[in-house]
Amino acid sequence: MRRLALSLLLFGAVAVWGWTFVLVKEAVAGYGVLSFLAVRYAIAAAAIAALTAWRADRRSLGAGMAIGVPLAAGFLLQTFGLRHTTASNSGVITGLFVVFVPLTNRLLFGQRTERVALAAIAVSVLGLGLLSGAAPHGVALGDLLTLGAAAAFGLHVALLGRYSKHYATGALTLGQLVCAAALFAAACPLAERLAWPTPRVWGIILLTALVATAAAFYIQTLVQQRLSAIQVAMILLMEPLFAAVFGYLLAGDRLTGVQIIGAAMMTGAASIVEVRPIFFRPGPSA
């Protein structure tokens, strides 16, 4: 029952993330990306600090800040990418993070990568070509930036999965958010003019800060301490589906037949990487 409750919590967080692709795209269309992220993460960090700072230990905070670096890189690339691609494309391409997780584990921790995972990566790249190449203006800059975001998120998930069990949930979450907020705030004056958000942008900032950042990343950190990487990844794989659904319902996103095939190839390849270990013993590794 406890595992089911945790799975449902993470499922809810993933649904929120899928929804906010549309909202964030709207917000950064007329407001600075770094300004948006800096304010969003500062508010999220303040919210978590109000609940957990009194019992946060330095060891967990330090680990969280280190893990927060790829998290910040992922959101920076993803948010800039949303300026140049659709919410649906962004959601699907972000889902490729599950392909980058085994690559990260191989490079950093020496874990073997199965040949099926390498094949899935090749299929995913081909799918990305169909998804982006079939767009009216060819391969979109936003798609390439989002692919970089997927790599950063893959690194984040791998690090969080490996180290979250050894640190306090609240302090680890706080460290990640403080690190991201500090990086965005430091870079903001160098890249764009500071401006006061409109009431609509303020609403999106508050929603994404409190629900899609503070609450959602606390939930992810908590769940990754208690559920296996396979269980977590299978739930996270629903994010592209939610992004596509909300993009269709709220933003009028539409995919051509070729783009749908590309998106299906990417999602299917990522799903196979995660589902296969449940049913089959690992095969030869590369």
CA distances from 187 to 182, 213, 227 (A): 9, 20, 35
The SS3 assignment for 279 reads: helix
Q: Is 163 helix (H, G, I), strand (E, B) or coil?
A: helix
DSSP state of 274: H
Q: What are phi and psi of 114, to 5 degrees?
A: -65, 155
- For the chain, give every domain's residue range: 2-279
pTM above 0.85, yes or no: no
Q: How far apart are the first and last CA of the chain?
A: 38
Report the pLDDT value the prediction gives residue 85, as an integer from 0 to 100: 85
pLDDT at site 255: 72
User: What's the confidence (pLDDT) of residue 285?
Assistant: 47
Q: Average pLDDT of 117-124?
A: 75
The DSSP code for 114 is B
Per-residue tokens: 210: 């409190």
Q: Quote the CA–CA distance of 161 and 157 in Å, as a whole number.
A: 6
| Of 127, 38, 143, residue with least CA distance to 81 | 143
The per-residue pLDDT for range 18-50, each reduced to its tens digit, is: 899 999 999 999 899 999 999 999 999 999 999
Contact 67, 176 (CB under 8 A): yes
Q: What is the mean pLDDT of residues 108-119?
A: 75
| CA atoms 8, 224, 206, 242: torsion sign | negative
DSSP of 44-108 = HHHHHHHHHGGG--HHHHHHHHHHHHHHHHHHHHHHHHTTSS-HHHHHHHHTTHHHHHHHHHHHH
Lookup: tokens for 259: 């783009």
Angle at 55 between CA 52 and CA 57, to 5 degrees: 110
Helix, strand, coil share (%) of the chain residues, nearest 5: 80, 0, 20
What is the CA angle 215-168-4, rounded to 5? 55
pLDDT at 210 over 70: yes
User: Cβ–Cβ contacts within 10 Å for residue 69, how many?
Assistant: 17
Mean pLDDT score, 107-129 = 76
List the one residue out of 93, 66, 80, 49 whose CA is nearest residue 266.
93
pLDDT at 286 over 50: no
Per-residue confidence (pLDDT) for residue 98, from 0 to 100: 75
- % residues pLDDT > 70 (the chain): 87
Mean pLDDT of 53-73: 94
